[in-house]
Amino acid sequence: MALVTTLRRLVQNSLREYSRKASAVTWPTKQRSFSIGTQPLRSDNKVTVNFINRDGEKITVKGLPGDSLLDVVINEDLDFDGFGACEGTLACSTCHLIFDEEMYKKLGPITDEEMDMLDLAYGLTDTSRLGCQICLTKSLEGMVARVPESVADIRQTKDGSS
């Protein structure tokens, strides 16, 4: 019986691995370097970003200065449903993120073009921004960004005409 259970687990695991590899939609190659001795200097440059996902879970990752928050989400393979549909070209509002007041003020000026798209986001707040337009700097170290619920944007009008 024990043998059968072990074999079953082995088979189930290898099946899962097989389907995981086969079903990869985006699987970034994460290089793991096992260097002996001092850490490479590059890692000092990194900026810690905390995302609160739609289930309220906190996910802590790092990005490089200059990366947009959308870049970070993609590079770290964070699984936010439908995030960044237009791939950072200011043609949608699916990378909508919400910040606390203090962090929001640090994020810098917002262009009309960003605000035009942000205006269409569901659950828009006064401290909302589009993740594809926020670029990391060291001064944003430890920032917290909340991923809001992503129901339809405002252009889905129900004015009784349909």
- Closest CA relative to residue 54, chosen from 30, 82, 77, 17: 82
Residue positions counted in the chain:
162
13 binds another protein (CB under 8 A): no
Please list every residue from 85 through 104 that binds another protein, using CB under 8 A. Answer: 85-87, 89-94
Per CB under 8 A, which of residues 127..156 are in contact with another protein? 150-156
Distances (CA, A) of 149 to 31, 50, 60, 128, 152: 32, 17, 19, 13, 9
Q: Does 116 bind another protein (CB under 8 A)?
A: yes
Q: Interface with another protein includes 8 (CB under 8 A)?
A: yes
Reference 124, options 101, 100, 93; nearest CA is 93
Choice from 20, 54, 58, 106 touching another protein (CB under 8 A):
20
Furthest CA-CA distance within the chain:
68
- 3-state DSSP assignment of residue 156: coil
Q: Does 68 bind another protein (CB under 8 A)?
A: no
54 is an interface residue for another protein by CB under 8 A: no
- The region of 36-44, 61-69, 81-89, 137-145 touching another protein under the rule CB under 8 A is 81-89
3's torsion region: left (phi>0), alpha (psi -120 to 50) or beta?
A: alpha
Dihedral of CA atoms 51, 17, 85, 81 in degrees, nearest 10, equals -50
Residue 138: CB minimum distance to another protein, A:
30
Residues that bind another protein (CB under 8 A): 1, 4, 7-8, 11-12, 14-16, 18-20, 22-23, 25-26, 81-82, 85-87, 89-94, 112-113, 115-117, 119-120, 124, 150-162
